[in-house]
Structure 1
Amino acid sequence: MAYVVTEPCFDCKYTDCVVVCPADCFYEGERMLFIHPDECLDCDACRPECPVDAIFYEDDVPEPWREFIALNREMAPLCPSIVDRKPPLAGPTRP
């Protein structure tokens, strides 16, 4: 099991979660971040740092966003690793 980045990250990409990840398992897609499920330590450090509540433990991903489990698994290996804070996209705003 692993944590999963879901729909609220789309066009957002806050990187608060990235800088607290001890496993460096985040990957940067063009419009959202992804977590590599084979690298995730299930430590829960990232989830509370996400200002748009986009990160869920795999078993807790809401039903409408379940496809993001496979999307993270598929996209993380194709995207560059991200370990540093970057400016977010202009999409959803921080609550």
Structure 2
Amino acid sequence: MTYVVTEACIRCKYMDCVSVCPVDCFYEGANMLVIKPDECIDCGVCEPECPANAILADTVAEAAPWLALNAEMAAIWPSIREKREPPPDADTWKDVAGKRALHFSRAPGGREAQGR
């Protein structure tokens, strides 16, 4: 079993999960995070930390379509090991459904990409 980041993270990217992960298995895209399945130790400490409820166990049906995306993006996005501030409009996007089709970006994240 592993945990995956789902659509709810898109445009929110709160990063509370990053600060509790004992194995640094989060990777950062321009507007969301993902978990590298091969690095996740299934501890589950990240799941309750996410204000957007974007992290699910891969055994949950809603997580299935996100498992491959997490693995794919973790292979090309940079690792993130420390929590930073979320985007200023994160709360606006927190409960918006259907974000993947219009707002998902394959672009990598990180301080350089965000001009921080």
Quote the Cα distance in structure 1 between the aligned partners of 2:61 and 2:5. Answer: 9
Partner SS, residue 75 of structure 2: helix
> In structure 2, what is the equivalent of residue 40 of structure 1?
40
Q: CA RMSD in A?
A: 1.5
1:69-80 correspondence to structure 2 within 5 Å: 69-80=67-78
Letter matched to residue 82 of structure 1: I
Gaps of 5+ in 1: none
Q: Are residues 75 and 49 of structure 1, via their aligned partners in 2, closer, same or farther at CA, if it must alter by over 3 Å?
A: same
TM-score by length of 2: 0.74
3-state SS of paired residue (1:59): coil
Match of 1:81 among 65, 79, 82: 79
Cα deviation per residue 1:41-90 (whole Å; 9 max; x = unaligned)?
A: 0001100000010000001142xx53211100100010111011111122
Pair member with larger Rg: 2
Task: Count the aligned residue pairs.
Answer: 92
- Ranges in structure 2 where 5+ consecutive residues have no aligned partner: 96-116
Contact 2:3 2:37 in 1 (8 A): yes
Q: Which residue type is aligned with residue 81 of structure 1?
A: S
Secondary structure of the corresponding residue to residue 27 of structure 2: strand
Cα distance change, pair 87–74 in 1 and its aligned pair in 2 (3 A): same
TM-score of the pair, normalised by structure 1: 0.90
* Aligned residue number for residue 11 of structure 2: 11
Of all paired residues, the percent bearing the same amino acid is 52
Moved over 4 A (4+): none
